[in-house]
Amino acid sequence: MARLILLLGDQLSAGIAALAEADPADDVVLMAEVAEEAGYVPHHKKKLAFVFAAMRHFAEELRAAGWQLRYTRLDDPENSGSLVGEIARARAALDVEEILCTEPGVWRLRQALAAVPGLTLLPDNRFLIDPAGFRAWAQGRHQLRMEYFYRDMRRRTRLLMDGDQPAGGEWNYDHDNRGTPPHGTTPPPLPAFEPDAITHEVLRLVEQRFPDNFGDLQPFTLAVTRADAEAARDHFLAHALPRFGDYQDAMRRGEPVLFHAHLALYMNIGLLDPLDLCRRAEAEWRAGRVPINSAEGFIRQILGWREYVRGIYWLHMPHYADANALEAHRPLPDFYWTAETDMACMRDAVEQTRAHAYAHHIQRLMVTGNFALLAGIDPYLVHVWYMAVYADAYEWVEMPNTIGMALFADGGIMGSKPYAASGAYIDRMSDYCTDCRYRVKLKAGPDACPFNYLYWDFIARHRDRFARNQRMGPIVRNLDRMSDDRKAEIRADSARFLDALVPAGSRWGG
Ligand code: FAD
Ligand code: DLZ
Ligand code: SF4
Give 286-313 pLDDT, tens digit per residue: 999 999 999 999 999 999 999 999 999 9
Locate the DSSP E strands across 223-265.
Answer: none
Average the pLDDT over each of 173-182, 296-305, 376-385, 452-461 and give the range with the smallest value. 173-182
Q: What is the CA radius of gyration of the chain?
A: 23
Closest by CA to 11, choosing from 269, 293, 221, is: 269
Our answer on whether the CB atom of 296 is closer than 6 Å to any ligand 2 atom is no
CATH class of the domain at 4-122: alpha beta
| pTM recorded for the entire structure | 0.97
- pLDDT interval class at 338 (50, 70, 90): very high
Q: Which atom of ligand 3 is nearest to the CA of 343?
A: 7
CA 345 – CA 147 distance, rounded (Å): 30
For CATH 1.10.579.10, list the domain ranges present in the chain: 335-499
| CATH (one of 1.10.3720.10, 3.40.50.460, 3.40.50.720, 1.25.40.80) for 131-188+240-316 | 1.25.40.80
pLDDT value of position 142: 84
Tell me: pLDDT of 506 over 70: no
Over range 59-85, report the average pLDDT.
Answer: 97
The average pLDDT across 192-217 equals: 98
CA 38 to ligand 1 centroid distance, Å: 21
Q: State residue 347's pLDDT score.
A: 98
DSSP state, 502? P
Q: Provide the pLDDT confidence category of residue 180 given band limits of 50, 70 and 90.
A: confident
Q: Please count the other Cβ atoms lying within 10 Å of the Cβ belonging to residue 117.
A: 8
- Supply the residue whose CA is at minimum distance from atom 8 of ligand 3: 423
Pocket test for ligand 1, best of 177, 239, 301 (most atoms within 8 A of CB): 301
CA–CA distance, 155 with 291 (Å, rounded to integer): 21
Instruction: Tell me what the pLDDT averaged over the chain comes to.
Output: 95
- pLDDT value of residue 63: 97
Q: How large is the average pLDDT for residues 181-207?
A: 94
Ligand 2 lined by 126 (C-beta under 6 Å): no
pLDDT value of position 507: 55
pLDDT at 320 exceeding the cut of 70? yes
Percent of the chain past pLDDT 90, that is, above it, reads: 92
pLDDT, mean of residues 436-451: 98
Q: Please, where in the chain does CATH 1.25.40.80 lie?
A: 131-188+240-316
Long-range CB pairs of 203-209, under 8 A, 24+ apart, other chains included: 203/49, 203/53, 205/52, 205/74, 205/75, 206/45, 206/48, 206/49, 206/52, 207/45, 209/38, 209/74, 209/75
- Alpha-carbon distances, residue 139 vs 312, 315, 451 (angstroms): 12, 10, 38
Average pLDDT of 177-185? 79
SS (H, E, C) 134-161: HHHHHCCCCCCCHHHHHHHHHHHHCCCE
Quick check: 509 pLDDT over 70?
Answer: no
pLDDT tens column, 392-435: 999 999 999 999 999 999 999 998 899 999 999 999 999 999 99
Residue range(s) in the chain whose domain bears CATH number 3.40.50.620: 4-122
Residue 394 CA: which ligand 2 atom is closest? 23
Indicate which residue's Cα is closest to atom 37 of ligand 1: 401
Q: How far, in Å, is the centroid of ligand 1 from the Cα of 473?
A: 30
| pLDDT band per the 50, 70, 90 thresholds, residue 508 | low
Binning pLDDT at 50, 70 and 90, where does residue 48 land?
very high
Measuring CA to CA, which residue among 347, 377, 384, 328 is closest to residue 509?
384
Do residues 87 and 99 lie in contact, with contact meaning Cβ atoms separated by under 8 Å? Answer: yes
Ligand 3 pocket check: which of 341, 422, 433 to mutate, most ligand atoms within 8 Å of Cβ?
Answer: 433
Give CA–CA dist 142/139, Å, rounded.
Answer: 9
Cα 189 to Cα 167: distance, rounded to the nearest angstrom: 31
- 324 phi, psi to nearest 5 deg: -155, 60
The CATH fold assigned to 335-499 is DNA Cyclobutane Dipyrimidine Photolyase, subunit A; domain 3 (1.10.579)
Confidence of residue 31 (pLDDT cuts 50, 70, 90): very high
Q: What is the mean pLDDT of residues 175-204?
A: 90
Distances (CA, A) of 3 to 20, 131, 362: 13, 26, 45
Percent of the chain with pLDDT over 70: 98
